[in-house]
Amino acid sequence: MSTQLENPQLTKYGLALHTTTRELGLAMSHFAGETRSQVWDLDRELSSHLHQYLLEFIKPQTWADLAFIAVARGPGGFTGTRIGVVTARTLGQQLGIPVFTISTLAAVAWSQIPPCPPYEGQEKQGDQAIAVQMPAQRGQVFAAIYQPTTDASGLNVLLPDTVLTPEAWQEKLANWKTSYQLIDAKSELAATVTSILQLAYLEWQRGQRPNWSEALPFYGQHPVQM
């Protein structure tokens, strides 16, 4: 009985949200072959239309069919990131289900690994680091370095998400001791919502059940110049 309740493959779905850009990305799966995702360019209408898009997207499932929520925690736009995390926290609290926050940069890194959905019994493997950079405000860059594990358990964090000047980032890369692939994350980031969902599911499989109150955004920068 307890095994069935803990395994979302049997009856439950995971739902992922990506709102850190001007686009809305949604993905949903029960991790047994059925996965669906969609991206909308909502620009400034994101906050006013998010709830309606969610209601339409989850059909024919209902809120009661969800085992967990996953959300892109940033970095990204301040307003969009906040909206996504607040929505995920609210759903997690009301439904009594875990809320996973996944780095925008980690999702980009995971999307670069050759497709092998972990919930189909395949593995994502690789020993080369993946460095991800994304434009930030005031001429700076968001940056992180990850490495895929060899056992399909996710990503090892070699350099946590941070904000740097371009010069400092280039210096860090120049002094990096191992080979790496550099990814410039500039557009269509909402499409990595499927990676948000996959990474959250890998954490779910490892037994993690984060409470909604633990879901916090990563802004990296203060939205207003101080």
Domain ranges of the chain: 2-214
- pLDDT (tens digit per residue) in 179-218: 999 999 987 899 999 999 999 999 999 899 999 999 999 9
Please, what sign has the CA dihedral across residues 221, 43, 17, 215?
positive
CB atoms within 10 A of CB 218: 21
DSSP category for residue 115: P
Checking if the pLDDT of 119 tops 70, the result is no
* 144 vs 5, more confident: 144
- pLDDT (tens digit per residue) in 57-67: 999 999 999 99
The set of residues, in sequence order, having a beta carbon less than 8 Å from that of 142 and lying 6+ positions away, is: 75, 104, 105, 133, 134, 135, 136, 161, 162, 163, 220
At the top level of CATH, the class of 2-214 is: alpha beta
Q: Which residues pair with 113 in a beta bridge?
A: none
**Overall pTM surpassing 0.85 (yes/no):** yes
Checking if the pLDDT of 126 tops 60, the result is no
